[in-house]
Amino acid sequence: MQAPEHSLRITRPDDWHLHLRDGDALRWTVPWSAAQFARAIVMPNLKPPVVDTAQALAYRDRVLAARPPGSDFEPLMTLYLTDRTAAQEIARARASGAVHGVKLYPAGATTNSDSGVTDLRLVRPVLEAMQREGMPLLVHGEVTDPEVDVFDREAVFIERHLQSIRRDFPALKIVLEHITTSHAVDFVLAHDARDARGAPLLGATLTAHHLLHSRNAMFRGGLRPHYYCLPVLKRESHRRRLLDAACSGDPRFFLGTDSAPHARGAKEADCGCAGCFSAMHALELYAQAFEQAGCLSRLEAFASHFGADFYGLPRNRDSIELRRQPWSVPDSLPYLDTRIVPVDAGTELGWRAVCDAASQQQA
Ligand code: DOR
Ligand code: ZN
């Protein structure tokens, strides 16, 4: 048997799905992501949401201003699709060079999704414009129908809505975000169409927490709100399919942390918020998942190649080192004037990313 590697150097990764929040939170969230990732697709579900190009550019400036000195972290902005989004906005967004996707939240599906789409028929002209402009549609794939079991919402969304979007807009680039089920894996695998550059027209992001945990994590010895996110964790058989997809070397599956910070009090509450904070140790969590699955050699392409290829952006040229150096995830960290609990708080991870000094978190 081969001795285990003690160090691993990979192309610097990108995070293709990230929540940075806004205002004072940026001074805290941006350095964490900048320490590990070169770029990130930044989600637009602020209060109020980022609905047009002007707002996306202003938000981009706020993110850039929150970078640590010397950091070249690049935020890739997104627009929040609403019932009222104008089709003409897509050309403006494309021309800005700063907007890389439009996010579809079914209204009410998750955190700050109240302004989301109530009826997909209303946004068909926008989807047509996106198809024309080569602007990716980033999908939170869950139905909001209260009759549908919370664990079935992704599968039902695919069946009721995504199948027809895929069929009606065959050249639209689509990312099914933070997938959680075998149904989502099957849906992606069933569509192999490519764009003019040979990149997939349909892809999916996978979070570290969905690769590492089944829904049991939410109930281990009691109710564990820091494992509550949306789409909610699913049963073990789904987790295994996600891990297989991540480890398959198929370029349609790539890294998106969905790191979604909420202050401790907002999660440990009568009605706790959905979202797991993983930006501080994202690469370490992915390395843990890939190593447990025996496919560490596949981590680099998943984390650092496939997402850039999908979005038609150059792969990063610099690299990051991971060392085999067991460490414990802190129980909590300072966050604004309160604290935050990272995902897998208190547990031991086997790998530690050696982060660029310029981007080190001061907190
Ligand atoms: O768990 C989640 N948290 N899922 C989402 O879709 C949104 C996110 C957030 O913004 O907190
Ligand atoms: Zn998200």
Ligand 1, atom nearest to 177 Cα: 6
209 lines ligand 1 (CB under 6 A): no
Residue 324 tokens, joined:
């085999």
Residue 104 and residue 83: Cα distance in Å, rounded? 10
User: Ligand 2 centre from 40 Cα, in Å?
Assistant: 12
User: Ligand 1 centre from 197 Cα, in Å?
Assistant: 32
110 lines ligand 1 (CB under 6 A): yes
358 lines ligand 1 (CB under 6 A): no
User: Ligand 2 centre from 265 Cα, in Å?
Assistant: 20
Ligand 1, atom nearest to 140 Cα: 6
pLDDT, the chain, mean: 96
Question: What interhelical angle do 26-36 and 282-292 show, nearest 10?
Answer: 40
Residue 323 tokens, joined:
């060392």
Through-space distance between the first and last CA atoms of the chain, rounded to whole angstroms: 41
Q: Which ligand is nearest to the CA of 110?
A: 1
User: Ligand 1 centre from 324 Cα, in Å?
Assistant: 31
- Torsion sign, CA atoms 48, 42, 180, 183: positive
Question: How many CA atoms within 13 Å lie on the side-chain side of 278?
Answer: 29
Domain covering 7-360 in this structure, CATH number: 3.20.20.140
Which of the following is catalytic: 14, 15, 250, 258? 258
Residue 164 and residue 74: Cα distance in Å, rounded? 34
Residue 219 and residue 277: Cα distance in Å, rounded? 18
274 lines ligand 1 (CB under 6 A): yes
Residue 211 burial by CB count (10 A; 0-12/13-18/19+): exposed, middle or buried? buried
Q: Residue 111 — pLDDT band, cuts 50, 70, 90?
A: confident
pLDDT > 70: percent of the chain: 97
* Pocket residue to mutate for ligand 1, from 15, 80, 110, most atoms within 8 A of Cβ: 110
Q: Which tens digits make up the pLDDT trace of 215-244?
A: 999 999 999 999 999 999 999 999 999 999
Told to judge if 331 belongs to the known catalytic residues of this protein, a careful annotator would answer no
* pTM to 2 decimal places: 0.97
* Pocket residue to mutate for ligand 1, from 111, 150, 232, most atoms within 8 A of Cβ: 111
Instruction: Please report the pLDDT score of residue 355 as a whole number.
Output: 81
Q: Which tens digits make up the pLDDT trace of 277-305?
A: 999 999 999 999 999 999 999 999 999 99
Q: Which tens digits make up the pLDDT trace of 170-192?
A: 999 999 999 999 999 999 999 99
Under 8 Å between Cβ of 20 and 75? yes
Question: Which pairing describes strands 15-18 and 319-328: parallel, antiparallel, or unpaired?
Answer: unpaired
Q: Which tens digits make up the pLDDT trace of 250-284?
A: 999 999 999 999 999 999 999 999 999 999 999 99
Residue 54 and residue 283: Cα distance in Å, rounded? 32
User: Ligand 1 centre from 43 Cα, in Å?
Assistant: 9
Give the start-to-end residue ranges of the domains of the chain: 7-360
* Pocket residue to mutate for ligand 1, from 230, 259, 343, most atoms within 8 A of Cβ: 230
Q: Residue 356 — pLDDT band, cuts 50, 70, 90?
A: low
